Amino acid sequence: MLRIPKWYKQWSADNPTKLYGPGIVVGTIGFAVIVAVSAVSSPTLQTTDFQTGPRGIGMAVSKFVKDNPQDDPYAAQYVAYERVEVPVGTPTAAEAYGDSVVAFGDMDQANFDQLTKAMSEWTGADIVLYDNGEVDANMLEVTQNCIELTQYLNTDWDGHNLASDGRGVNCYTCHRGEPIPPQSWFKAGAVNASATGWAAIQNRVMLDNKYTQSEFTSLPVDAVEKFLLDGESIKVHDLESRVNTLPGDPTWQNAERTFSLMNHQSNSLDVGCVYCHNTRAFYDGTQVTPQWSSTITAQQMLSNINQYYLEPRAELLPASSLGDEGDAGKANCATCHMGVVSPLNGRNMVAEWPELAAPLE
């Protein structure tokens, strides 16, 4: 049995100490340190940083890892259809199916059929590329329009789509296996038949999807229509006081449309303001990041394709495919990006079928 020496008992009696108070303090501090260490090392609180501009001036995007996956789940669902080997003498699509072939007539019949299967898989629709006696003439024209649009994006807008860098777009980039691309947008229209002007577009909750430009804000709901269809320019910054102006002033509303579009772009790519801008000088084009020019290019591209390729389809599509205003579905940033910077994780979408990156003859 352990016996405590008499001298220790006497020393303790002569030097009394309250152990409970200090013990509680030390224990509390120790517990706090353990909690802090656990929190910092927890995956839910780990951050990731992406440098967007010069170092030292805060030009970086910082996010919690759990909130910033930057992973396009559709990439895993993509079905690639590789080319097939064909014997010499195989007829071309035009020779096999006649002059009604709307695209790829010079391609051999076997690979023409293979690409048709791929396009059907990518769009979730039964794609036909020639008049087989059953296909609707309007839908055949829409299909041809889609192919021309894809080739146009991969050639004339290569600077944004990076087809030459091994990315590009094909049917799946927008359609994601559905006949109508899930992130298509339609004109919002007036809030009711009697509303016009400011009241027609302001203070409306839009619940189209999570990338909608206004969503739960009071911002105008027609931002993508003005900037990505009508082609209006974002030039609303000035240093004049707005104290004496009232709601409805065009500069106010155009500024709010800009905020709405910025929200849409931010949500579509899952990035913040400093992905493109230096927040100390939003108005100064000399202090922006390289991503700013890519975004401006995208706005011009979208306005172009919406005007010349997508909006005119309203005359060809059935009423069930049109919006409340009778317009065809159009494209915005979310149509391709779907919440990530690199759609489909940067996959090469024209590798198997380079014809999709070549103009029609």
Is residue 290 very low, low, confident or very high in pLDDT (cuts 50, 70, 90)?
Answer: confident
The answer for 64, left when phi > 0, alpha when psi is -120 to 50, beta otherwise, is beta
Is the CA virtual torsion 73, 76, 77, 81 positive or negative?
positive
Res 35: pLDDT:
67
Q: What is the pTM of this model?
A: 0.78
Res 206: pLDDT:
61
pLDDT at 1 over 70: no
Tell me if domain 72-179+349-361 and domain 183-337 are identical in fold: yes
In the block, tokens 């091994």 appear at 166
**Least confident piece of the model among 50-54, 109-113, 276-280:** 50-54
Residue 157 near residue 299 (C-beta atoms within 8 A): no
Cα three-residue angle 142-143-148, rounded to 5 degrees:
95
Residue 183's contacts (CB-CB under 8 Å, 6 or more residues apart) are: 174, 209, 211, 332, 334, 335, 338
pLDDT tens digits for range 310-339 = 999 999 999 999 988 899 999 999 999 998
Looking at residue 354, the DSSP 8-state letter turns out to be: G
Task: Tell whether residue 174 is among the known ligand binding residues.
Answer: yes
Task: Tell whether residue 264 is among the known ligand binding residues.
Answer: no
Measured CA to CA, the distance from residue 361 to residue 355 in angstroms comes to 11
- Average pLDDT for 109-124: 96
Res 280: pLDDT:
77
In the block, tokens 């990041």 appear at 289
Measured CA to CA, the distance from residue 352 to residue 113 in angstroms comes to 14
Residue 327 near residue 306 (C-beta atoms within 8 A): no
Q: Which residue has the higher pLDDT, 30 or 149?
A: 149
- Average pLDDT for 121-134: 94
62 beta partners: 49
Burial of 345 (0-12, 13-18, 19+ CB in 10 A): middle
Mark 267-281 as b/e (b = at least 16 C-beta within 10 Å): bbbbbbebbbbbeee
Measured CA to CA, the distance from residue 248 to residue 124 in angstroms comes to 44
pLDDT tens digits for range 26-72 = 567 777 777 666 665 555 567 777 676 666 666 777 766 666 667 88
pLDDT at 302 over 70: yes
Res 286: pLDDT:
83
Res 201: pLDDT:
64
pLDDT at 192 over 60: no
Nearest to 230 by CA among 219, 222, 221: 222
Report which residue type is found at 69: P
- Average pLDDT for 240-267: 78
Nearest to 265 by CA among 240, 236, 241, 297: 297
Res 360: pLDDT:
46
pLDDT at 110 over 90: yes
pLDDT at 6 over 60: yes
Provide the mean pLDDT of the chain.
82
- Average pLDDT for 83-105: 92
* Per-domain boundaries in the chain: 72-179+349-361, 183-337
- For domain 72-179+349-361, which architecture applies? Orthogonal Bundle (1.10)
High-pLDDT (> 90) share of the chain, %: 41
Task: Tell whether residue 336 is among the known ligand binding residues.
Answer: yes
Q: Which residue has the higher pLDDT, 88 or 32?
A: 88
Element (H, E) at 47: strand 47-51
Element (H, E) at 48: strand 47-51
Burial of 290 (0-12, 13-18, 19+ CB in 10 A): exposed
CATH 1.10.4080.10 is right for the domain spanning 183-337: no
Res 330: pLDDT:
94
pLDDT at 214 over 70: no
Measured CA to CA, the distance from residue 273 to residue 263 in angstroms comes to 9
Tokens of 174: 């927008």
Res 113: pLDDT:
96
Task: Tell whether residue 276 is among the known ligand binding residues.
Answer: yes
Task: Tell whether residue 146 is among the known ligand binding residues.
Answer: no
